A = this chain, B = another copy of it.
Amino acid sequence: MKDFFKVMDIEAVTALRAGFPTAGEETVPVLETLDRILAEAIVSDIDLPDFRRATMDGYAVRAGATFGASDGAPACLTVRGTIRMGEVPGFAVGPGEASRISTGGMLPEGADAVVMIERTESLDDTLIEVYKSVAPGENVVEAGEDFRIGETVLDRGRRIRPQEMGVLSALGRETVRVFRRPVVGIVSTGDEIVPIHQVPSQGRIRDINTYSLAGWVRRAGGIPKIYGIVPDRPEALLATCRQASAESDMVLVSGGSSVGTRDFTIETIASLPRSEVLVHGVSISPGKPTILARVDGKPFWGLPGHVTSAMVVFTVIVRPFIHHLSGLSEASETIWTIPARITRNLPSAQGRVDYVRVRLSRDQGEWRASPVLGKSGLIHTMVKADGLVRIDRDVEGLEKDAPVEVTPL
């Protein structure tokens, strides 16, 4: 199988995602759209608001009537009615007139600004003094100032945050077309792995990858589907992989860290129907022995069995594929990295990208990234870590205080 082992750069691997289709689309109620990806462009079919609206409590006026007003020389205006919330004023405001209005109220015909109530004094029921001039449009939102009819408000492929849910409701969208969340099958392999309800006999450990990968899949926007532990027998692994591939939009097989099992895993993946191995080895650390195949048109992964390697590979390689399957556009994919300074010298091998687990702390108004010590196979290093720092392949290492970008974990 040695000829399979063609180590690829991580950028080349990530680019392969373009060759896979999205998981499809569905329609969901707007209340269920948080963190979903829009499968339609949202075009406003109204002017929002569709009327001139007050943004302050006070008096709707013609701005011109207040020009030159000051504490010493107030403008005197005649009060013409009160505007009720949610109603169209049945009157117009003329020069020298004002009408009481509350925040959100509709300005009457003739009025083009609102004087804040704090800038006025009521002389009697029908007369007010205004102590400060307003410009046309002041304390007012114009019709269509938020969104104009025909305007594209949200692009297809965008992730929906709470504020986008607000926009969708403003436009009366009770249901929204979004991409389906990809179903990600998770298979664990290895004769040394036991289900978590069992007490492992000596030489065995419980199944960790199934649960941490399920968490990562969910966090990335996918739906994990658990296939459990498969013993190291080709026919058993093949049967489970076939089933997982048929039932999922993507499959993760974890385990097979050793050369022997790795060969066995890749042979199994290669022997699935309509299978083509695309990647066998990625020039990153940890995570080099990562396998990617296209099986029946879907991404099919062989992840390292090491729990921490599997998590790093998921974060830096698999997650962008889930984003792609979820329809997330590249423009909307930004993950905020946190600029920090590294707290100690870090060696790194050239020719590969290294990912270092770090803990963040605050020092003199800056983030400091402290590498988490401990052998890379230990899960407690991931529990102690706040994020990952990438060290590029052409960098020999980082010196203490070097600036780094931390991707939160």
Contacts and interface: CB of A to CB of B under 8 A. Distances in A.
A115 B383 CA distance: 29
Interface in A109-124: 117
A162 interface: yes
Contacts of A51: 202-203
A363 to B, nearest CB: 12
Interface string A195-237: 0111111111111111111111011000010100000100000
A226 B165 CA distance: 14
A173 B208 CA distance: 11
Interface stretch (A125-133, A254-262, A273-281): A254-262
Contacts of A260: 57, 102
Interface of A: 30-31, 33-35, 48-51, 55, 57, 84-88, 102-106, 117, 141, 145-147, 153-154, 160-174, 190-193, 196-216, 218-219, 224, 226, 232, 257-261, 305-307, 311, 334, 336-339, 360, 365-367, 375, 377-380, 382-383, 385-386, 403, 408-409
A367 to B, nearest CB: 7
A173 B145 contact: no
A307 B166 contact: yes
B365 A336 contact: no
A33 to B, nearest CB: 8
A208 B166 contact: yes
Given A51-B203, A86-B193, A162-B218, 14 more contacts: A30-B211, A33-B215, A84-B191, A85-B191, A86-B203, A102-B259, A104-B192, A105-B192, A141-B378, A153-B383, A163-B379, A163-B409, A169-B208, A339-B339
A141 B377 contact: yes
Contact of A162 (B172, B205, B215): B215
Pick the 3 closest A-B CB pairs, nearest first. Answer: A162-B215, A166-B212, A102-B258
A366 B203 CA distance: 49
Nearest to A367: B339
A168 to B, nearest CB: 7
B141 A375 contact: yes
